A = this chain, B = another copy of it.
C-alpha cells in the first residue's frame, strides 16, 4: 500500500489498508496490527547534512521534522573491508554505537519523536539490547523507562538498563509472556517498543542511507544480515526503497538473511513459499538476540526479502560458533547473534547469491562485549579449570 504521491506522511496498516494521522500518539492500528509510515520520497545527496556526525545527517529523510534530536552519537559506523575465504567482504560495524548495538539507530529516532510529543514515561519489553538502548535514550531525554524482561533473564543482561536508571520489571514465564504483559500495560503507559513502533524502523532505515554514502552514493549489490524480528531487513528495505524512488540508486540490493537453525521461523516460511508461519524448530541458540518465535512483522520481512530478489539461510550452532572465532581472528569481536550473518556468507556464496566481483556488505550488529558469558564459553582455553 503506497500513499498517493504528494500526500502528507501518515501511518498505514499495510494489512488492512487503514490509515491514521502521523500526529496520533499510536504505535499500532485500531485492530492491533503493526503500522508503517506511508511511502516517502527519499532524499538526494545534497540533502545530507554533512555537518552532523550521527544518523541525524539523514534527518531530511524522516517523515516528521524533529527539532531537538535525542542523540548519543549513533550512526556513522565504520565499513571495513576484509578477506573472507575467497571473497572481499565489507563489514559494517554497527557495534560502534552508544549502547553497543545497532538498535540505537531506531531508538534515537523513536525516542526523539516521543520526547517532542511530550511523552514522559514509556515501557519496553526486551531481554537484552533493545531494553538497554531504550533505557539509554530515555535517560538522555529525561523520560522514565520501565523495561519488562522475563524473570529468568540473568542480572548481568539487565545491568545496563538499570545503570541508565530504567526500572526493570521481571515477568514470570517466557519471552512471549513478557510481550503479553507489555501489551497489557500499554493501556496506561506509552509502549516504546523496538518491535512495534513505526519510527524505530525510520531510524533503522538510516543504515541504507549510510551504506549509500559510504559507497560514494551507490548501493551495494547485496546486504547480508541476521534476522530475529527483522528490523535490519525492514530498515534496509525502507531506506533503499526511498533511494530508488528518489532516483539515487539504480537497483535494490539483494537482502540475504540468516537465522540460527535453532530458531528460524522466517526461514521456514521463506522456503515454504508462504508469508505465514509454518511449523519449525525452536531450541536454545547462542545467537540469543534472534531467538524470536513470532516476529511482529512476519509477512513484511518476507516480502522485503523477496522483493529484493534476496535469499535466506538457516545456520547451525557450530557454524555460528566458528564464525565468531573466525571474525575475532581477523580483529572483529562480534557477539554470536551478529556473527550469524558472517556464518551465512559461505552458504550464500555456494548458492550464487553472493557473487565474486560484486559489492557485498555484512552487517555486524552487536559487540562481543555484550555477550561475555557466551564469549567466555566460546574462547575458554583448552583444559581451563573454570
Contacts and interface: CB of A to CB of B under 8 A. Distances in A.
Interface string A118-147: 000000000000000000110110000000
Nearest to A132: B333
**Interface size classification for chain A:** 35 or more
Interface stretch (A12-20, A189-197, A346-354, A362-370): A362-370
B96 A73 contact: yes
A139 B330 contact: yes
Pick the most buried of A71, A136, A369, A378: most chain B CB atoms within 10 A of its CB: A369
Interface string A317-347: 0000000010011111100000000000000
Nearest to A216: B51
Nearest to A325: B163
B164 A333 contact: yes
Contacts of A76: 53, 76, 78
Contact of A98 (B139, B325, B331, B379): B331
A333 B140 contact: no
A54 interface: yes
A376 B163 CA distance: 9
A160 B331 contact: no
Contacts of A331: 72, 98, 136-137, 139-140, 164
Nearest to A72: B331
B369 A328 contact: no
Given A155-B386, A376-B155, A370 B369 contact: yes
Contact of A333 (B80, B160, B378): B160
Contacts of A386: 155
B96 A163 contact: no
A162 interface: yes
A99 interface: yes
A97 interface: yes
Contact of A369 (B100, B162, B165, B168): B100
A235 B263 CA distance: 48
Interface in A82-132: 93, 96-100
B332 A375 contact: no
12 contacts: A54-B78, A72-B331, A73-B77, A73-B79, A93-B98, A99-B333, A100-B369, A136-B331, A155-B384, A164-B331, A164-B333, A168-B381
